[in-house]
Structure 1
Amino acid sequence: MGELYVSSTSHDMSTPRAQESTSRKAMTRAVVGVTLGNMVEWFDFALYSSLAGIIGKTFFHNGNPTTQLLAIYATFAAGFLIRPLGSLVFGPIGDKYGRRMALSLSISLMAVATFAIALIPSYASIGVCAPIVLILMRLLQGLSTGGEYGGSCTFIAEHAPDKRRSFLTSWLEFGNISGFLLGGAVVTLFTLVLGEATMADWGWRVPFAVGGLLGMIALYLRLSLEETPVFQQMQENEAAQKASPGAKTGLFALLLNEWPQLLKCMGLVTVFNVTYYIILGYIPGYLENVLGYSNSFSLSLGMTATLFMLVLIPVSGLLADRIGRKVMIITGCALLIVLTIPCFMLLHSQSLPLLLAAVLTLTLAQLFFEGAMPATLTSLFGSRVRFSALAISYNIAVSLFGGTAPLINTWLINATGNQMIPAWYLIVGAVVGLISILFVQDSTGKPLPQ
């Protein structure tokens, strides 16, 4: 990560302060400090995905495995449904008091809630209070992540030089996938060391405690970061405006003026997150629970696809800066629309080479979003509402179509018996994303809007 920055001039607000070259050290600190916080979010997602069966048996009193699975997916989805409220809390803080302050507050809440899950007694110990407390902690996690991704994108993008913005913001996605892999690896390690019986008894709690500690490390790093030059200049401009007479424009009035951009952002986030939660989060469980493959085989295939993506994310960021972010996103949407049905048909083949080809093809389509999407989303909004607008639109889309994907797909497959439901879900998301990107002006290599 030490080579992330190449000297360039940033023109974010067409002011001397924003045009100053960001030092290599400050840029690296910004990327690492912000990325680690997002790692915690995806670390937590991996824990829920890997330990869904154990958590269901621990907190939900029902002998039906499908009902328990639906219950834990519903608990997981609850954290996403409250995200828009979190964006309404942390977004205005980020736009008024600073990007760094909002990100520090959000990771603090995430760390406390994640660590608390490790301490919740089981249903056998405290009865119905167990799932209630679990849901409350999940809601706190969702509240905290309401400001996490939008703020992280904003923070890195406002530090980054124009010509390198796609590459530098792609490290945020690298951190997300690293967190997902780390979470799965931690669960696997403790399962091997403790054994499945001990893991089901109490060992599952240890990874959540680790997640809480990672959150505190991220908080320490964030508190040492410098505020973005764009926000610093914005504060100076607002101080000058307060000194002069004239009408003041409130944050929510500014947000109302951004409604076309909010809709475009929601459409792009829909395809971005549907691919994340279906391809990385849902397909391993789909292979096991729906198609009948073994747990170890399903997890191994999912891990292979995730490693494939992790290695190529920086390449995707470099490519986006070179050929244009809009071209990358259009290509990814087109690949999903054309290839998703054939890939899901190959998942039924029982042939390892064909299964691997299918999963890697879907992962490749997703890679076209990884390097291009973060910088595209931040370029949609002006600096005075960037944190709030991105956080609100991002989290509404994630709540409706991303984090709820495992629950919706599990329910639809059980209700209809149609095993191709996830494929159609991906295609619909890709169509929404394609329509949205066609209305977005490509801003690759250009300054962020004021």
Structure 2
Amino acid sequence: MKEITLDASTAEEVKDHRGPATPDRTLTRAVTGVTLGNMVEWFDFAIYSSMSTLLAKVFFPTSNSYNELIAIYAAFAAGFLIRPLGGLLFGPIGDKYGRRTALVASISLMATATLAIALIPSYHSIGLAAPILLVVMRMLQGLSTGGEYGGSCIFIAEHSPDKRRTFFTSWLEFGNIAGFLVGGVIVNLISSLLGAETMLAWGWRVPFVIAGLMGIVALFIRLRVDETPVFRQMQANKSHQPARPPFWKLVASEWPQLLRSAGLVATFNINYYIVLGYLPSYLVSFLGRSEQFSATLSMTATLALLLFIPLFGMLGDRIGRKRMLVTGCLMMLFCVLPIFWAIQTQGLAAIILGMAVLILAMLFFEGTIPATLTSMFGATVRYSCFAISYNVSVSALGGTAPLINTWLIKETGLTIIPALYLMGGALLGLLALWGLRDRTGQPMPS
């Protein structure tokens, strides 16, 4: 890869990560390019959530609907299990060759795999090869995502001014939620236009085509965005620095922050995948609510989350990111058991109120977690450390949450399992926050 060099004026602007190195137009383009790419991931997640029963019949048809659901959740989880490998692949690329280089590679792989899913024949056409191909494409998507989210957070954070870093990085979460929301809307719209029979025959492919095309658009935007000022400064200083220890020794030296990051990521993703990804199907499968009610509740909650994320990003810049995260953890820890008791025993109003409280608790994470995680690591290993800690944690405790919770409820008969899962995540988050330095409004580590 060709090294990037700076002229004297540009180097002066970025030397302490605080100068006006990123013009407003460049910052806007950076936010737009990486946000749209992340939308593809969450658009895809919305597709799986909205069409899980349908996709199970296409790829894993059995006489038992529970086994079908477990199979499609397992295929979904396969994409998460390979994420750490994606972090190991794209992290060093981002630290050595550039943040933009890694992000261009990751979105290219994501768009290709997503479009390929739309072309896979059904189980009835090619038998066992169909679910195998689905799992392979899900694993390629997971490999791509291993470098996508962390790289996107870093790309925006390194373009952002210190005093507004939380706000600008919160737009990444805005894009993620928007992708989830738009995905659900498009699936419902296509389903209503085509009908159940056509959706089962071929209509399920259309959302995957749309997601793949979104990825191609994001690719072209990213190709037009400049590399971050921080990475350009790293390249400019490279020839003047003394010999450094091997790269992996530098990563290993960050182990306390790696553990903290993994803990926060686990809390963040457990909240997301349980509240938005699993709770709607939980209401249908275990509490007997209608699919229409569940879908409407999920859509409303997602829209509320979407509207308030930038506001909570601004709030994080004002009162401190650590204080926001502690508040979110405490809300989950002390409110979730009463909420689940109420939604199981007190009817419709309790479900709506309980979901509102859970969404409020999530907002303290959604608005602040990207800036928090990017400010935990030094610039030379930031991409790798973020990608490794994030993806290991998501693979173990985030994306597998629907599968684990469904299995635990089936084995134990305890429908309170999701509440206990959320409480465990909150405790883990509080432990990770213990001793964490709050860098709100300050430069990221060099």
Q: Note whether the superposition's TM-score is higher than 0.5.
A: yes
Distance 2:361 2:258 in 1: 24
User: Are 2:291 and 1:291 aligned?
Assistant: no
The one-letter code of the counterpart of 1:92 is: P
Contact 1:84 1:396 in 2 (8 A): yes
* Residue of structure 1 in register with 2:253 after alignment: 257
The one-letter code of the counterpart of 1:114 is: T
Q: Pick closer, same or farther for the CA change 1:16–1:86 going to 2, 3 Å.
A: closer
* Residue of structure 2 in register with 1:116 after alignment: 116
Contact 2:264 2:429 in 1 (8 A): yes
* Residue of structure 1 in register with 2:329 after alignment: 333
Contact 1:95 1:388 in 2 (8 A): yes
Contact 1:11 1:162 in 2 (8 A): no
* Residue of structure 1 in register with 2:38 after alignment: 38
Distance 2:214 2:286 in 1: 34
Contact 1:269 1:397 in 2 (8 A): yes
1:438: how far off? Answer: 1.8
Contact 1:264 1:437 in 2 (8 A): yes
Contact 1:81 1:399 in 2 (8 A): yes
* Residue of structure 2 in register with 1:364 after alignment: 360
Q: Pick closer, same or farther for the CA change 1:12–1:303 going to 2, 3 Å.
A: farther
Distance 1:116 1:346 in 2: 43
Deviations 1:30-66 (A, max 9, x none): 1000000000000000001111111111111321100
Deviations 1:386-431 (A, max 9, x none): 0010010000000000000000000000111100000000000000
Within 5 A, what are the aligned runs for 1:341-352?
Answer: 341-349=337-345, 351-352=347-348
1:372: how far off? Answer: 1.2
* Residue of structure 1 in register with 2:154 after alignment: 154
Contact 2:268 2:365 in 1 (8 A): yes
Contact 1:151 1:391 in 2 (8 A): yes
1:14: how far off? Answer: 6.9
Distance 1:428 1:17 in 2: 37
Distance 2:307 2:335 in 1: 22
* Residue of structure 2 in register with 1:129 after alignment: 129
The one-letter code of the counterpart of 2:260 is: K
Provide the TM-score with structure 1 as the length reference: 0.95
Deviations 1:207-231 (A, max 9, x none): 0111100000010100100100000
Match of 2:444 among 427, 445, 448: 448
Distance 1:350 1:342 in 2: 11
Deviations 1:253-277 (A, max 9, x none): 1101001110000000010000010
Contact 2:17 2:444 in 1 (8 A): no
The one-letter code of the counterpart of 1:368 is: F
User: Are 2:173 and 1:177 aligned?
Assistant: no
1:354: how far off? Answer: 1.7
Unmatched runs of 5 consecutive residues or more in structure 1: 1-9
Distance 2:399 2:293 in 1: 24
* Residue of structure 2 in register with 1:91 after alignment: 91
Deviations 1:85-129 (A, max 9, x none): 000000000000000010010000000101111110011110110
1:16: how far off? Answer: 6.5
Contact 1:264 1:439 in 2 (8 A): no
1:240: how far off? Answer: 2.4
* Residue of structure 1 in register with 2:193 after alignment: 193
* Residue of structure 1 in register with 2:297 after alignment: 301
1:13: how far off? Answer: 9.6
* Residue of structure 2 in register with 1:4 after alignment: none
Contact 1:11 1:18 in 2 (8 A): no
Provide the TM-score with structure 2 as the length reference: 0.96
Distance 1:397 1:201 in 2: 37
Distance 2:445 2:345 in 1: 49
* Residue of structure 2 in register with 1:413 after alignment: 409
Q: Secondary structure at the match of 1:227?
A: coil
Q: Secondary structure at the match of 2:134?
A: helix
Distance 1:252 1:277 in 2: 31
Aligned residues: 437
* Residue of structure 2 in register with 1:223 after alignment: 223
* Residue of structure 2 in register with 1:5 after alignment: none
Cα root mean square deviation, aligned: 1.5
User: Are 2:432 and 1:436 aligned?
Assistant: yes
* Residue of structure 1 in register with 2:209 after alignment: 209
1:437: how far off? Answer: 0.9
Distance 1:328 1:379 in 2: 15
Contact 1:83 1:395 in 2 (8 A): yes
* Residue of structure 2 in register with 1:376 after alignment: 372
Q: Relative to structure 2, which stretch is displaced further, 246-255 or 376-385?
A: 246-255
Distance 2:197 2:346 in 1: 30
The one-letter code of the counterpart of 1:263 is: L
Match of 2:266 among 266, 270, 274: 270
1:143: how far off? Answer: 0.2
1:349: how far off? Answer: 3.6
Distance 1:57 1:17 in 2: 52
The one-letter code of the counterpart of 1:214 is: M
Distance 2:12 2:211 in 1: 35
Q: Pick closer, same or farther for the CA change 1:162–1:11 going to 2, 3 Å.
A: farther
User: Are 2:70 and 1:107 aligned?
Assistant: no
